[in-house]
Structure 1
Amino acid sequence: MFDDLPPDLERLLPLKVWHAMWLARIDDEIADLQRRKAEREYGRRVRPARPEWIVQLGIGTGRPPVQVHAGDCYAAGNRRRSVDRGEARRLLASGLPACLHCQPDIELRTLD
């Protein structure tokens, strides 16, 4: 059936070793891909929920609030904390500016 294989032992044994090495490499790659997939799935399951509203914080003592953003706003800086709807409305009502990109004042209906 497979007459394209060498007929002698001296050439068949290295072929067997070579194929075993490739099979081990393939098995390692499969295991690595399965591990990465499991890690991604675990990350999706344990990821905290995105906050509904964000307050961007300033620099300096006390890190005062600077601007109110929607939870998914791309313009919110790295210094921020999540707030609930009531606190976001209170901050906007007290004069804290709303983000010009995500416009939380429209969503929260706090326009003047």
Structure 2
Amino acid sequence: MSEPSRLELLHFTRRVVMQQATAALRQIDGWIAEEERRETERRRREEDRPPHPEWLVQHGLNPKNIDAVHTGDCWTVEGSDRCRPVSRDQAVEAIRHQVPACTFCRPDTVLGLLE
């Protein structure tokens, strides 16, 4: 059996590299498809999420006590189970009845209650 020529070795090397490159591209294409699927799901969840309420009241440990009034997008109560949405009129009324306004989102300023 004779040794392969340099040209045959180069052709063999090219075939091996093409096979490896094809396999690597298939793997990368799979990763891209998976990431596109995740991104589509994330966008769909974001679109399906109900909008933030305009105003929130935060209850204390005793649900009858109101601790603070917040704007609906206040970062300090994000995900809190002690908040419930209220109307603009209810938020104004709570602040007028001495319920503290959040010092971060300043609903009293947004509602125009500060002079």
State if a TM-score over 0.5 links the two structures. Answer: yes
Q: 1:1-112 residue pairs with structure 2 within 5 A? A: 6-8=10-12, 11=13, 14-60=16-62, 62=63, 64-76=65-77, 78=80, 79-111=82-114
Distance in 2 of aligned mates of 1:29 and 1:38: 14
Please state how far the C-alpha of 1:42 moved relative to its aligned partner: 0.8
- In structure 1, runs of 5+ residues without a counterpart are none
Residue deviations 1:32-84 (CA, integer Å, cap 9, x gap): 12112212221231121111111112113x35211001112223362211111
Q: Which 4+ stretches in 1 moved above 6 angstroms?
A: none
Distance in 2 of aligned mates of 1:40 and 1:55: 29
Please state how far the C-alpha of 1:107 moved relative to its aligned partner: 2.4
**3-state secondary structure, aligned to 1:6:** helix
Please state how far the C-alpha of 1:12 moved relative to its aligned partner: 5.5
**Residues 7 and 100 of structure 1, relative CA distance in 2, 3 Å threshold:** closer
Distance in 2 of aligned mates of 1:86 and 1:95: 15
**3-state secondary structure, aligned to 2:23:** helix
Q: Say how many residue pairs are matched.
A: 106
More helix by proportion, 1 or 2?
A: 2
**Residues 19 and 102 of structure 1, relative CA distance in 2, 3 Å threshold:** closer
**Residues 72 and 33 of structure 1, relative CA distance in 2, 3 Å threshold:** same
Q: Which moved more, 1:93-102 or 1:13-22?
A: 13-22
- In structure 2, runs of 5+ residues without a counterpart are 1-6
